[in-house]
Amino acid sequence: MSIPSLKNLENIHIQNFQDDLIQWFKKSHRQLPWRINRDPYRIWVSEIMLQQTKVDTVIPYFEKFMKSFPTIEAFAEANEDTVLKAWEGLGYYSRVRNLNTAAKEVVNIHAGKVPHTLDVLLQLKGIGPYTAGAILSIAYGVPAPAVDGNVMRVLSRILIIPDDIAKPATRKIFETAVKQLISHEDPSAFNQGLMELGALICTPTSPACLLCPVRVHCHAYHQGIEMQLPVKSKKKQPKKVQLIAGILRNEEGKILIRKRENEGLLANLWEFPNCERPNQYMPSHFILTDYLENTHKIVSLVQPSKLTEVKHVFTHLIWNVHVHVGELKNAVEETTHLKLVSEDEIAAYAFPVAHQKMWDSYIEMKTKVEKS
């Protein structure tokens, strides 16, 4: 315990802290679909979905996912397009591609049994220190730390840990703390209790200290400085990107879509053809026409009037998309990454939300035209 930030650990009555936290968790925790049993596969899927994602958002995805893929074997058999469709709208799509890769590995190499040791878990794609600890403690009852944003916020207050939780190195300090504090009788309830406390009571901006089951243990509360913790440095501003996209129809009424690159932003999702706008001085439909000829050998009549303008905000960038409609004038050779599909078939492909917005505008426009 040579870590200066953890000097308050010795002032915690560990047994009472564990008892207060676990008793509260068992009495007050939410009924969530991944808490109906300890199936390691279900725990695993839920932990991946919950990465950087709110519980309320995850619940419907988790329910549907488990109906589609009830077992790890069923999920491991599914192809990437299928699992991406199941993830459509959840974001951070590499999560489900990694999960699918890892599930195949567990089925083929580990006889379908989710590993129960730290080193083996950490070798699986998409499982890092947090998720490994969560699976170990929740599914297998192993006293391993599972340090997420909630845990860092809660413990930064209880122990007055001033380190910047935005820094990668800081997580290790909290892991050291949890290793000292964690209950060996019920590691699952302890870890989940810390996270549940962070989600329901010890919230970022207005912690409900008067309702807190462990406030007698909380050093920040006693000093009245809970609002000043945790220390978290700010992230930089997102970069703005101008895009021009085309919803292009051929004479049969089929729509041109393409698959994105297999790495990077929105990897392997489908989209309407688009390009970045190099400058402000040329009309966007000219730029798009040139791009389509050069990139896909497509002759098209792109209407100069914009269908709509779509703004979409990511964590690290902002898209501003000028959306045009157009008519394909030549036959297009379809490939694995370039397809012509009917309007009804669009729904079978996984699209980013930004492109869903474009499609919604197109349908809305079409409906209006048909009415008049």
Partner DNA sequence: AACGCGTGGAA
Partner DNA sequence: TTTCCAAGCGT
Q: Which residues are catalytic?
A: 47
Q: 92 or 140, CB closer to DNA?
A: 92
Segment 140 to 159, residues that bind DNA, using CB under 7 A:
148-150, 153
Q: Which of residues 92, 219, 306, 338 is near DNA by CB under 7 A?
A: 92
Q: 195 or 298, CB closer to DNA?
A: 195
Residue 203: HSE in the Cβ half-sphere, 13 Å Cα cutoff: 9
Q: 147 or 292, CB closer to DNA?
A: 147
DSSP 93: T
Asked if 130 touches DNA (CB under 7 A), the answer is yes
Q: Which of residues 21, 107, 134, 159 is near DNA by CB under 7 A?
A: 134
Q: Which residue has the tokens 């068992």?
A: 26
Asked if 232 touches DNA (CB under 7 A), the answer is yes
Q: How far is the CB of 44 from DNA (least distance, A)?
A: 11
Q: 129 or 143, CB closer to DNA?
A: 129
Q: 12 or 43, CB closer to DNA?
A: 43
Query: Is the Cβ–Cβ distance between 307 and 324 less than 8 Å?
Result: yes
| Distance between CA atoms of residues 150 and 158, nearest Å | 12
Structure tokens at 6: 């953890």
Largest CA distance in the chain: 76
Asked if 169 touches DNA (CB under 7 A), the answer is yes
| Distance between CA atoms of residues 78 and 90, nearest Å | 18
Over the window 58 to 87, marking each residue x when it contacts DNA by CB under 7 A and - when it does not, the resulting string is: ------------------------------
- 240 SS3 class: strand
Q: Which of residues 5, 28, 53, 250 is near DNA by CB under 7 A?
A: 53
Structure tokens at 229: 């913790």
Q: Which residue has the tokens 């892991």?
A: 175
Q: How far is the CB of 341 from DNA (least distance, A)?
A: 19
Phi, psi of 356 (to 5 degrees): -65, -40
Q: 219 or 232, CB closer to DNA?
A: 232
Measured from the Cβ of residue 325, the count of other Cβ atoms closer than 10 Å reads 20
Q: What is the DSSP string of 252-266?
A: T--EEEEEPPSSSTT
Amino acid symbol at 256: L
Q: Which of residues 40, 126, 213, 326 is near DNA by CB under 7 A?
A: 126
Q: Which of residues 8, 28, 51, 82 is near DNA by CB under 7 A?
A: 51
Measured from the Cβ of residue 267, the count of other Cβ atoms closer than 10 Å reads 15
Segment 273 to 312, residues that bind DNA, using CB under 7 A:
312
Q: How far is the CB of 321 from DNA (least distance, A)?
A: 12
Segment 335 to 364, residues that bind DNA, using CB under 7 A:
352-354
Smallest CA-to-CA distance from 256 within 361, 357, 329, 360 is with: 329
How far CA 326 is from CA of 256, 286, 329, 347, 356, in Å, comes to 10, 12, 9, 20, 18
Contact footprint for DNA (CB under 7 A): 32, 46-47, 50-57, 89-94, 98, 124-132, 134, 148-150, 153, 167-169, 192, 195-196, 198-199, 203-206, 232, 234-236, 264-267, 312-317, 352-354
